[in-house]
Amino acid sequence: MQIRDRNLMPVWEKIQSGERLTLEDGLRAYTSGDLIGLGAMAHAVQKEKSGDAVYFVLNQKIEPTNVCVLACKFCDFAARKGDPHAYEMTVGEILGKLTPEIREVHITGGMPPDWPWERYLEIVRSVHDRLPEADIKAFTAVEIDFFHKKFRMPVEEVLRQLQSAGLRTMPGGGAEVFSERVRRLLFNQKIGAKTWLDIHRTAHRLGIPTNSTLLYGHIETLEERLIHMIRLREVQDETGGFLTFIPLAFQPGETGIKPAHRFTSAADDLRTIALSRLMLDNIPHIKAYWVMLTEEVASVALNFGADDMDGTVGGEKIAHDAGAVSPMTLAKERIIGLIRDAGKIPVERDAYYNPLHVHQERVVGKIPYLNSVPFYARLEKRDFRILPVVPRRMGMLCALGEIDAGPFSLMDFLRQEDDMELMGWCIATRDQVKSVMLFSKEGWRDLDGRTIGITDDTATSVHLLSVLLEKKYGVHARFERLHQGVNSYDGLDAVLLIGDEALRRNKHGLDGFELVYDLAREWYEWQKLPFVFAVWALRRSLPSAVKEELSGLVKGSLESVGGDFVSVAGPHGRRIGLTDEETQEYLSGFNYSLGEREREAIEVFRRLVPAAASGAHASPPDREGR
């Protein structure tokens, strides 16, 4: 890490130790003249979170109307009813813009005075019926507040009805900047910070993940930008519901707002991207929104902390009406090229950041949990690229031939072992794991016929749970697959969590679920064997030299760590609320070598799992039935 500005060193030291940055830290970094050093720090944080991955989505922007009751000073998009440039789309016109390959439909627009509530629901239902596999991301908090007031419904009821119609996520627009001073001057008719944040809290509570944004480059101060980020960070601590943060560069257009009579500079854009990544330690992704940044600046931002390029964004008008100079639609192959040019892995995603396709060779999967840190902390990548991906998704990508090696979920290895070759390492527990936990309202035998929520991450733990329920306790429960990210656990009798979230909940509890079961301990007490959750494997078709090189790299990383887990995993542990002592104790409970006892345990599980893996248990559906 080459940092020229010595004033940045205390900031970097705090980042390395896993400490959260303060407002003062942010101001020190924002005002530093060492842009390259700032970008290097943000890039290091981004790599730890996302590896070499940069995400994009095939999406379509729908703006049903530009007729709006508001008259915000910075908006060149809105029109009054009857204006020559005013428009209102029919449902048929909206559906005519959709094509089968679209994975995300993003709906926002004006707020007309005379549309009935049913018209909004019809738009969402119609899009969902036309593209049932696509994710509908619709209506900003400003629009939700408008519906709440106009139709005299509680915000929660507005969101529930939209959710029933097909809404899955919400965009982050309308936040602007959380400054009452700026709100009074530029958008006094719009909701302020409290209402925006409360609406997003409500969405998160209902299981609707959302994005978050900052509009910068107008009359706000650097301190106001940072306070905005800190307030988002505080809500994320409460709910965990923000998927991504999107710094939106102000497009001056013909608004006449001073001093923003020109576009933001590339240096300001990159600083803001970098500060976003450093300050928002608990928001998973930072987006370089090429529509406002231009594709050239967005590409550079991928080495300044951003890990998302948004997508094809067909049909976007709001930013372009304000003077955005980016192309209206960026083709899939152009996005892939920009990401590769930045030295990254192009990863096609859905709205929840689940990877659908990986457009890169020599990709090694990484389970993004604390228990896999020792494999990667000192791993030399050489010609390989690292893709953090949860166990279930890693197996799905492997089946598509898009991941070459990694610590695969045991179930995925058993399904694909004709094509995969075992390496000498695993993620196995002795008598407990602390991060594969069933949180329940009932005892084991009282779960018969009950509903258990299954995190979308799990590929093997769900089958271990099935085996324990059916073979050990004689119980048959119904499983519901939950999407990754924020969820509502209403109506569930138990919830299976894995990884870092299970560690957090094991320490602090999960409201409403008083009984907590460690699945590895249940297995050990029953079989007196360790449990192997994942095994390192690589594709048989890889050249021998590549196999040998990768094996040597993994072995070298583990040997360099030894048993001093805090030195490599302490910051990760602190970020999820563990002390160094707890991190050391947790990682010391794993066996990373695939020995005879582990191989015996695999064979026992292989014999037990077929019956439990039949029917619904093989792939528990999510709440949309997918």
Same domain, 384 and 486: no
pLDDT of amino acid 208: 95
Same domain, 93 and 183: yes
Q: Mean pLDDT over residues 591-599, rounded?
A: 96
Same domain, 108 and 130: yes
Q: Mean pLDDT over residues 75-79, rounded?
A: 62
Is the separation of the CB atoms in 437 and 556 below 8 Å? no
Distance, in Å, from the CA atom of 324 to the CA atom of 118, rounded to the nearest integer, reads 33
In a domain, 34, yes or no: no
Same domain, 178 and 240: yes
Same domain, 375 and 345: no
Burial of 443 (0-12, 13-18, 19+ CB in 10 A): exposed
**The pTM is what?**
0.89
Of 336, 392, 338, nearest to 365 by C-alpha is 392
In a domain, 480, yes or no: yes
pLDDT over 70 (residue 622): no
pLDDT digits (tens, 9 = 90+) for 158-187: 999 999 999 999 999 999 999 999 999 888
pLDDT digits (tens, 9 = 90+) for 314-332: 544 444 344 444 444 567 8
Is the separation of the CB atoms in 502 and 585 below 8 Å? no
Same domain, 60 and 73: yes
| Residue that finishes a domain, picked among 307, 335, 353 | 353
pLDDT of amino acid 34: 97
In a domain, 567, yes or no: yes
pLDDT digits (tens, 9 = 90+) for 375-392: 998 998 888 999 999 999
Same domain, 127 and 217: yes
Q: How much is the mean pLDDT over the chain?
A: 90
The whole domain housing 563 covers 357-429+531-598
| Residue that finishes a domain, picked among 325, 353, 381 | 353
The domain that holds 309 is classified in CATH as 3.20.20.70
The phi, psi pair for 112, rounded to 5°, reads: -70, 155
Same domain, 305 and 361: no
In a domain, 27, yes or no: no
Is the separation of the CB atoms in 375 and 557 below 8 Å? yes
Least-confidence region, from 109-123, 273-287, 419-433, 481-495: 481-495
Same domain, 168 and 108: yes
Could you tell me which residues come within 8 angstroms of residue 136 by beta carbon, excluding any fewer than 6 positions away? 104, 105, 107, 124, 127, 128, 166, 167, 168, 169
In a domain, 20, yes or no: no
Q: Mean pLDDT over residues 254-268, rounded?
A: 67
The domain that holds 519 is classified in CATH as 3.40.190.10
Instruction: Tell me the three state secondary structure of residue 308.
Output: strand
In a domain, 623, yes or no: no
CA 521 to chain centre: 30
pLDDT over 80 (residue 437): yes
Query: Containing H/E element for 355?
Result: strand 355-358
Same domain, 65 and 122: yes
Distance, in Å, from the CA atom of 548 to the CA atom of 525, rounded to the nearest integer, reads 38
Order of strands across the sheet with 345-349?
A: 308-311, 53-57, 345-349, 355-358
Q: Mean pLDDT over residues 554-558, rounded?
A: 93
Number of neighbours of residue 548 by Cβ within 10 angstroms: 11
Same domain, 334 and 250: yes
Same domain, 173 and 223: yes
Q: Where are the alpha helices (DSSP H) in 386-498?
A: 391-399, 410-416, 461-467
**Residue 202 structure tokens:** 């409500």
The phi, psi pair for 157, rounded to 5°, reads: -70, -40
| Residue that finishes a domain, picked among 508, 527, 546 | 527
Give the pLDDT band (50/70/90) at residue 333: confident
Is the separation of the CB atoms in 385 and 405 below 8 Å? no
How many folded domains does the chain comprise? 3
